Structure 1
């Protein structure tokens, strides 16, 4: 009888513990080797599990397992298909007019962390994330020109070339430089570059390894402040609100600048390693622009930044991002 009671009690305790445990589904449209996994998904799981004694965990669903299509990630969170997802404001740029100021050429200096600029302006941009709790918002490393069989040393070298861009703002940048912008998700760029559908890409160097672009590109131009990408990780607001207070506190402790820094630091580390490999490969051309050469690009795209900021009424937001 005692053994039976003890066994029943053990089952009851186990059942109770399981009922209290919560596993958050994190939708990742990229493979598990992508930088997002270690810097955000695994970090969230480790930090939340440690803070809650394993009661709150995060599981990554990689390669679009919860739904393919990078542009649809935000909607999947709002609809509750995933509890958490990451994505790029540039893919649905009309939703994020002020957030995307951080992506503009010369909005912030090349050596200033983008996540710091973003979180300085969070009060101005939080309304652009309805139905969710932003866990992290950060930027990539500064954009470079990633080209196939083309060397870019001045804006004139881009005349007539087909350049992939992530969103409408960068499309205007490409046009200002004399190129023809082609918008497509980053996971389509490899084939487009390989087949000659595009001549190059304006994006960060982390894509050389994260999306294997180093296999199809052979020329890289660095030093022009032509903006950077931005990213978000968001959680379903209703899901967050339904959690116990201790679990919400655990999320609050890591969300915001800490998680954003982890992501951006990882993006930069991936980019630096990829560029080192590109320089060492011996079959690439890596062009480091002089200050004078970089200024030519800045002059060519200055009007794009000014026009965009004025168009979204973002003067105050830009000033906050710049720490003014």
Structure 2
């Protein structure tokens, strides 16, 4: 095919994190380990919440949804990257790239929405404790999560429909290890003004507004805690927010850091390395933050693993008998 514009381009080339062949086995092992830890950690959180009756509360319902979204988030990017490294191929089909963009946007925005909903849950629990069970009821929680999914599906779909209107040059290279919307817009061969405007508006509505809601919730929480005279009461109330606040700081802190890094350095390679923070590192650390800082989750995980230990010993004994 020629070097001109081509609306039916068959594939893009993902340049990845490094062109050095000697680093490829190291990158493969590192990202495979991080992927397995992320999936296992978040899966344990989901199993602990679903199997322990003590965690059948709105806060942990949202946490289980957050863990599910994190599993889907990393599964959208890392397996494809590992396949490309293993096969020494940089290609990704046009449809595959758009599909990756679609699901990446869904799960990234859902992360933001769920963190906002969890902040609202803590606000009601601490500032309006007498009305908590009336406001944060199971039906309301389910509708809230469904509404978040509905909004993200349609916003991501609009991005893809606008992206489909663009033309791309054959052999287009994306300086990233996954198909990121901003990077794709930069390498398009046609005018991307409408796409950039919609991206700016969507980022403002779906990024800035949730963050504003989180900051407002915690400002009210801090204000309520300041009126509590007992130091033990303050510590107990704030300890329920510690894990969530840590995850919020990690999620939005890495996002701001990536934005500043991209704006200052203008280096695609450094930008892709910085993207590892929110696409891989943040979902991997979330289960550890909640299990280490939250006594309820830690206790539920302990009970879950203790129930699984007898089954593991039984399977080991059975395998030993068959071997003999």
Task: Check whether TM > 0.5.
Answer: no
With the shorter chain as reference, the TM-score category is: under 0.3
Higher RCO by CA contacts (8 Å cutoff, separation 6 or greater)? 2
Which structure is higher in helix share? 2
Which structure is higher in strand share? 1
